[in-house]
Amino acid sequence: MEKLLEEFLAYLAVEKGLAKNTVSSYSMDLSKFFKFLASKKRRIGSLGKEDVVDFLDALRSGGSSIASMCRAISAIKGLARYMLLQGLMEEDPTENVSSPRRWETLPKALSVGEVKDLLKSNVNGRLTLRDLAMLELLYSSGLRVSELVLLRVSDVNFEAGFLRVIGKGGKERVVPASTRSLRRVKGYMEGLRPKLLKDRRSEYLFVTSRGGPMTRQRFWQALKGYGALAGVKLSPHMLRHSFATHMLEGGADLRSLQKMLGHSDISTTQIYTKVSMDRAKKVYSEHHPRG
């Protein structure tokens, strides 16, 4: 590994013309990475994506800043590309590893109490049945707003308790739906949907007062109103993030959560482990007598 590191650093300095301080920083980051691989008894030639993700987790657990972690992943990505050029590796294990900077921009998750307050809204509006059914499904099944508004009546299986969802890239997945959320959907379908459609027909589950399919923009407007009533500032994906965070806190495993969220890459799902840890630290510091 030492020889490989020397050759790579020389390549960065001579071929790429990187500044000395940048090469020095890469050297330190890769030295840490090599020590980490050695502790796992892993060879650099058989480097896998899980090794990179585990290393990032170790850095995060050790208190490394986001900037330091971003620099480390840049160093590892550069090394992987160099090894591909040299024929030392057949596939790039860092190709789909996302930048840790995404952890800084992940929207806040609501607390369980805040979700309960939101979903028990006693507003008596004309469209309340529809809106609360949509809110309940977002939280119950962790849907994206775009997936929610595109749900068709045929996508809901009331007997088996699941939804068929078309996600990003047209990928289809099946997600569970709670009894409570399906009960609200059924109440909307029996009590309000026929009135909105009148004599019209629509394959879409959620429709507007004009009988057309619900839009993301219209739903976001309604979302803000319900958030204000519950005393929380809602963003479009906050209920999805709350679903993921609460699932992890309840003991769900990452692979199952990945399938439910429709993430093609588990490193995206792993972002929520940081959110859960941050919340655990906050609870600890607030409630432990010596926290």
Which residues are identified as catalytic?
144, 168, 237, 240, 263, 272
Q: Helix 66-85 and helix 2-14: axis angle, to 10°?
A: 90
Tell me the CB-side half-sphere exposure of residue 134, using CA atoms within 13 A.
Answer: 32
Residue showing tokens 């986001």: 66
Distances from the Cα of 282 to the Cα of 65, 278, 287, angstroms: 18, 6, 9
Q: How far apart are CA 27 and CA 194, in angstroms?
A: 66
Q: How far apart are CA 258 and CA 219, in angstroms?
A: 25
Q: Are 33 and 72 in contact (CB under 8 A)?
A: yes
Cα dihedral: 20, 25, 27, 29 (round 10):
-170
